[in-house]
Structure 1
């Protein structure tokens, strides 16, 4: 499988992750992003032996969109530090059932993940072992049944967008785990990584890599201009 490349130099690799592929090897043994990209780099650059590629951040298996990897150990270390220092920016778009009460806002909750069930519980107040989760959202378009929403993450918790939006009554289309109704033709949850912004590990210049969703439902419910508008709301 060829993964679309957004940018590549000696230090960074930015790609478009297709929905349905795990970020790294898991118990299913299915092809994963790290393995596929290492094989692609080895083939394209004719490299002998093992190819280094560092996983900097993850996207849930059903999620597609912009994703970056480190091509050297030094780049991996510096990008990981950017994640820890919150200088690593991530924006998303999603399609949800219904519409939030406010057309824009900031959500602050506390999330506890059940590792066995791979599911997050949301709390309004701090709880033992629950982690603070913060995101901003803006409604880009809405009809009587669904809304197209842009999201900017302030924290990177597991299932954060899925769980927080479901908690306010707007589960992501296709996300049965968090209460969405079944929709015909929906193979993955309606969540897309629209941009990743990081300080380049060598030049230190801020770089942004962007991606729009693939064709197909539910993205085809919206006009191209609406999708582009949603993708740029937080860039």
Structure 2
């Protein structure tokens, strides 16, 4: 577990691809328990440490995850999230070049609970939730393209569904049409940064998550992006 930031009220972790944020019914290990165990040992607590899950990212996605260490922080951060006070940026490696160098995508997301998959529609549909993101093409290799994405809304599988809808499937994302899987079972989508107002100091905090280690394509694009 890699901690990116910690104080008395918050803790931010760089999640590994393939790791759950919260336990599922199958009882697979989850980041939430890993952080609780860390806090219990660090502060020598007899029982479980308090930990509030502020937001989640999909299991195959890596990057920034914010937790609250106090109930006061959890309430205030949840309110901030509802009011869209967070700024979230992702990096995605796609198999094809996007139609434009930069654009704002507006779709209507319909989630299929049985398949755990979302579909992005160009026009309003029954049960569809409006989904908005902005992207820009940052760098490219001979086979792949690096996009930086700013989420305006937070819908189920939003980035994955919206990019697939414009023909830019994320590398390794078999569920949304990728040609092949990644070796680690994850997808090449990384929660790169999170900006939020601290729940007690009101200071604006920005956390940046290093790209996954040991993956040459990520290392290549990280070096390329550093030159911008």
Q: State how many pairs are aligned.
A: 227
Partner of 1:30: 28
Partner of 2:3: 5
CA contact (8 A) 2:146 2:221 kept: no
For residues 189-225 of structure 1, the C-alpha deviation after alignment (integer angstroms, 9 at most, x for no partner) is 00001111111000111101111212314314x2433
Partner of 1:218: 217
Partner of 2:91: 93
Partner of 1:46: 44
1:66-77 alignment runs, 5 A limit: 66-77=64-75
* SS of structure 1 residue aligned to 2:110: strand
Segments ≥4 residues shifted beyond 4 Å: none
User: Structure 1 residues 186, 20: closer, same or farther in 2, change over 3 A?
Assistant: closer
* SS of structure 1 residue aligned to 2:161: helix
User: 1: CA distance between counterparts of 2:88 and 2:98?
Assistant: 21
Partner of 1:20: 18
Question: 1:185: Cα distance to partner?
Answer: 3.4
User: 1: CA distance between counterparts of 2:54 and 2:91?
Assistant: 21
* SS of structure 2 residue aligned to 1:225: helix
User: 1: CA distance between counterparts of 2:84 and 2:44?
Assistant: 36
- Normalised to the residue count of structure 2, the TM-score between the two structures is 0.95
* SS of structure 1 residue aligned to 2:163: helix
- Normalised to the residue count of structure 1, the TM-score between the two structures is 0.92
CA contact (8 A) 1:112 1:121 kept: yes
For residues 115-153 of structure 1, the C-alpha deviation after alignment (integer angstroms, 9 at most, x for no partner) is 111000111111111110000001011234310110000
User: 1: CA distance between counterparts of 2:221 and 2:85?
Assistant: 32
Gap regions ≥5 residues in structure 2:
none
User: 1: CA distance between counterparts of 2:100 and 2:21?
Assistant: 33
User: Structure 1 residues 223, 153: closer, same or farther in 2, change over 3 A?
Assistant: closer
Question: 1:76: Cα distance to partner?
Answer: 0.4
Does 2:149 match 1:123? no
For residues 96-119 of structure 1, the C-alpha deviation after alignment (integer angstroms, 9 at most, x for no partner) is 011011010100000010011100
